[in-house]
Amino acid sequence: MARSHDRTGSPAHLPYRPVSLRDNATELRSLFAPNAIGSAIDRIVLDDTDGEGFLEFIELGPDFTLIVSRCRWEAERMLAYRGEGWVRMNFCLDAAAVFDFGDNGAFALNGAECRIFHQPRGLDCQHFITRHSQSICVTLSVKRGYLARELKLDATDLSEGFAGFVAGEHDSFFFERFALTPEMARTVRDMVQCPYAHQLRFLYQTSKAHELLCQAWDTAQRHDTVDVLPFRFTDEHRRRVVEVHDILDQTLDPAPSAVHLARRVGLNRNQLAYGFRKLYRTSVYEYHLTRRLDAAWDLLVTGEMTIAEVAYHVGYQHQASFTCAFRARFGMAPKEVRRGMRQTVAEAAEPARR
């Protein structure tokens, strides 16, 4: 009996193709349930599958866009942003993620911090989000012309990389970290808890975005930086991630938590999640779930166990939970697979009886 779902498939997730920082609200709309707020604002509300909370995309102008995020991610996510020449200013109260810029390095995003970086044209940024993590942050995306011509901000005391970019001396990648000041934290909280709707919301968020821009510029001029530690994926990291993969292959029981698995092989949760995705193009959870359900399919086809026995064998205490997970993966219930298998056997035996 043919399967209704490719065996190598995985649960739906954000597209790997890069999306635009200006147009990403439109491009992601098919994945979530957006509610229109105003002509220049798109809000994407997460459903129970993806998590809870919202992402808000606001176009303040052709050279100035804003993302406000207040959500908790239920599943691991990977999103790639196209390199379009934006300077991105990320003000974060809480996060557990990684920005990966290929040969330019990968950077862990943990906790409260301000990050300012330039993503040149052609340099995609892979944004990897850890499962069961929060994302409470505001991101300003600004083009050089807006900083230099419209705002006429003085770049004299900025870092060499940042100042050279604003002055038009280069278009190179740079990534700088700064301590999140109490003023920044208050402004971010104001924006994620904005009490207004429609045009008032747009005006409020616009004023707060400029407030954050001023705070970031002042902090950058004072060089209140923190160490930039690239998220390095070494051969030793690779070996330990492969060890986790081997552990998962040895059992059909529900996998231990990512934190437990990471500690077992000497990694932290972020290192394991990022490394596993990098090597196997899926998450620890998705890989082990797929393996258990594929094993269940094979057991159902053999017909040697009841459905309840198959569910228990692959680590489910309750048959209803097993049926729900199985249907989500294959598009049919276990009893339909069993019924189809019996029909196939009967049809194969029919010529022999004639």
pLDDT at 37 exceeding the cut of 60: no
**Residue 224: per-residue pLDDT:** 58
For residue 3, give the DSSP letter: -
pLDDT above 60: residue 137: yes
101: nearest Cα among 80, 87, 77: 80
Q: What global pTM score does this model have? A: 0.62
**Domains in the chain, please, with CATH?**
18-226 (2.60.120.10), 235-353 (1.10.10.60)
Q: How far apart are alpha carbons 158 and 217 in whole angstroms?
A: 8
pLDDT band at 79 (very low <50, low <70, confident <90, very high): confident
Beta-carbon contacts of 1 under 8 Å, excluding residues fewer than 6 positions away, are 301, 337, 340, 341, 343, 344
Per the prediction, the chain carries an average pLDDT of 79
Taking alpha carbons only, the member of 48, 98, 51 closest to residue 70 is 51
DSSP 8-state symbol, 230: B
Range of lowest pLDDT (137-146, 158-167, 207-216)? 158-167
Instruction: Return the higher-pLDDT residue of 255 and 346.
Output: 255
pLDDT surpassing 60 at residue 74? yes
